[in-house]
Amino acid sequence: MLALGGALGILFTISGCSAEVVQRGEQGKSVVQPMETPQPTPEPTDWVGGKHIDTVVEQPEGPLSPSGKSYSYYDTVKPTYINGVLLVNKDYALPRDYGNGENEVAYQALTKLQQGAWQAGYSMPLMSGFRSFETQEELYNDYVAVDGVEKADTYSAWPGHSEHQTGLAFDVGWVDLQFANTGAGQWLARHAHEYGFIIRYPKDKESVTGYQYEPWHIRYLGVDLATKVYESGLCLEEYLGVA
């Protein structure tokens, strides 16, 4: 056994293996000592036997969400309205349980937009509508796994920060930058406001919206406001004065 210990000691020394530390024993013999075993994370103090104890006010600081906020932030955050317009972006979040589907008025407007596009000779299929917090969380994590955080953040929203959770945003036509060069994409850019929508993430506004140009992502504002925003040439944050 001693010979084996010595051999192991040499092996670990040479390989630089960090799993075990070789030290000289009291009698000058090589002994192999295991490193400290990591202790299991203790159960948070306000969770007992898997049940949440509501009476405990102080919560342990848990892991941070991709936005850098604690996950509990999304249990209490309130939706933000600027001049009556629901604003969701990287600064303004929705609570975890917000929304349960497309807004009815917005969906009817979308149907009219699709009919208008059809009459102009284009199909405008709905590619993505309402997304729950949980769905967005899965999507975001999948994108991060493929592209890494930095790149994923340019095109995918953090859970709680997706406009799709409002039920007022839709991806239509073709979810690809090339959509902007198609007849359908150009029709959408010119006519979306007539149906109450804006192209939410315009070209050259990346530094304000935080997202790359998305010629397919439209946000319902109602015809009056959408037309004003469209004619202003501003993105929504600029128009609302929160840029």
Q: Which residues are catalytic?
A: 214
Specify the residue, 168 or 225, whose C-beta has the smaller distance to Zn ion: 168
Task: Determine if 137 is a binding residue for Zn ion (CB under 5 A).
Answer: no
Contact region for Zn ion (CB under 5 A) — 22-30, 68-76, 94-102, 171-179? 171-179
Q: Which helix (H) or strand (E) holds 184?
A: helix 183-191
Number of residues that bind Zn ion (CB under 5 A): 2
Place of tokens 């840029």: 243
Contact region for Zn ion (CB under 5 A) — 3-11, 66-74, 112-120, 210-218? 210-218
Strands 217-220 and 197-199: what pairing?
antiparallel
Give counts: helices (H), strands (E), the chain: 9, 10
Cα four-point dihedral sign 204, 206, 208, 214: positive
Task: Quote the least distance from Cβ 219 to Zn ion, whole Å.
Answer: 9
CA end-to-end span of the chain? 71
Burial class (CB in 10 A: 0-12, 13-18, 19+), 201: buried
Instruction: Tell which one of 96, 131, 205, 217 touches Zn ion (CB under 5 A).
Output: 217
Task: Quote the least distance from Cβ 107 to Zn ion, whole Å.
Answer: 15
Q: Which residue is nearest to Zn ion (CB)?
A: 217
Instruction: Tell which one of 109, 171, 193, 197 touches Zn ion (CB under 5 A).
Output: 171
Name the site residues for Zn ion (rule: CB under 5 A).
171, 217
